[in-house]
Amino acid sequence: MDFTVDAFLRRLQDSAQAPLVMGILNLTPDSFSDGGRWLDARGRVRVEEALEEVQRMAGQGAELIDLGGESTRPGALPPTPEEELERVLPLLEALREKPCAFISVDTQRAEVARRAADLGAVLINDVGAGGRDAKLWPLVAERGLPYVLMHMQGQPQDMQRAPRYGNVVAEVEAFHREGVRRLEALGLDRHRILVDPGIGFGKNLGHNRALLRELSTLPGTSLMVGASRKRFIAGIEEAEKAPISTAGERLGGSVAAALWAARQGARVLRVHDVADTVQALRVWRWLEA
C-alpha cells in the first residue's frame, strides 16, 4: 500500500470517506493514559511489542498512528532531545520495514521532525505551534510536510492551573488564522495544514464545551480533534455529581466526543480506543447515508 505524503493528503481531503482514525501510541514513561507501557526497566522502547501494537491498531481500522516521545499531560516536563529521539526513531525504523499505516509524529522539535520524515512519517503533530523550536516551521514549509497546528494556552507544566479567556472560541479561531497565515507565508500550502483546538490544553470544562460546540467555525482546510479519555469527561461527571471515571474508564465519553467532532466536520480523530471508535463511525455513517 501507499503510505506516502501524497497518499495521505488524498485520503485526508476525500470528504466522501469517514474521518481518519488516528491511533495513539505514547513511547513515554509518564503519559496520562498509557505512560510506560512500551518501555523496559531501563526506559528503552520495546520495539517489537510497540510494532505489534501499531499493527493491531491498523488492523482495527486506524489509518494513521501518532507516535509520541514526549508526554504533554498537565504538569509534564519535557525530555531531552536525545531521549525523545531514542524513544521514537527505533520504532520508525521498524515501521519503515513493515509499513501498515500512515505515521504521524507528535513532536515540538525540528530535528525529531526531520529524522521522522526521513523515515517515512507523513504528519508532524506539534502541540506547541512552533513555539518550542524556531526551526520547526521553516523545516515543515521547506519539505512540504503536513502539519498539525494546535492551540495551547501556557505549557504542559502550568496550562491547567487557571486557564482564562475573554471568548475562547474567538481567541482560538484568531490563533489558528494567524498560524495558518504565517505558515503559508513560509511556503507551506494551506491544504497541508491541519488545525486542532487543543481540547484539554489550557482549557477548563466550559472552554472545552464551547470549543466542541463550535468546531465547524474554526479556520483551516482540515480539522483534527483529540478528546479521547480526557479529564473534561470526568469534569462532566463531577458537575453532575456522578461517579468520577479514571482515564481508562472514559470509553463512552470518548466515543461520544469523537462522533460529535465527526458531525462537526473533523477529518482526523485522535483516539486511544480504535476499534470502538471505528465501529461507532461505521454505524453513524450508515444511519446518515
Bridge partners, residue 126, by sequence: 149
Q: Residues 87, 109, 230, 267: which is the catalytic one?
A: 230
SS3 content of the chain, % helix, strand, coil (to 5): 45, 15, 40
Grid cell, residue 237, equals 461527571
Does residue 230 carry a catalytic annotation? yes
What is the per-residue DSSP string for 74-98? TTPPPPPHHHHHHHHHHHHHHHHHS
> At CB < 8 A and 24+ separation, what contacts does 210-217 make?
210/168, 210/169, 211/168, 211/169, 211/172, 212/257, 212/260, 212/261, 212/264, 214/169, 215/261, 215/264, 215/265, 215/266, 216/264, 216/265, 217/169, 217/173
Distance CA 251, CA 257 (A): 10
Burial of 242 (0-12, 13-18, 19+ CB in 10 A): exposed
> At 228, which amino acid appears?
S
**Which helix (H) or strand (E) element contains residue 223?**
strand 222-225
CA distance 62 to 54: 9
Catalytic one among 73, 231, 250, 270?
A: 270
Active centre residues (catalytic): 230, 270
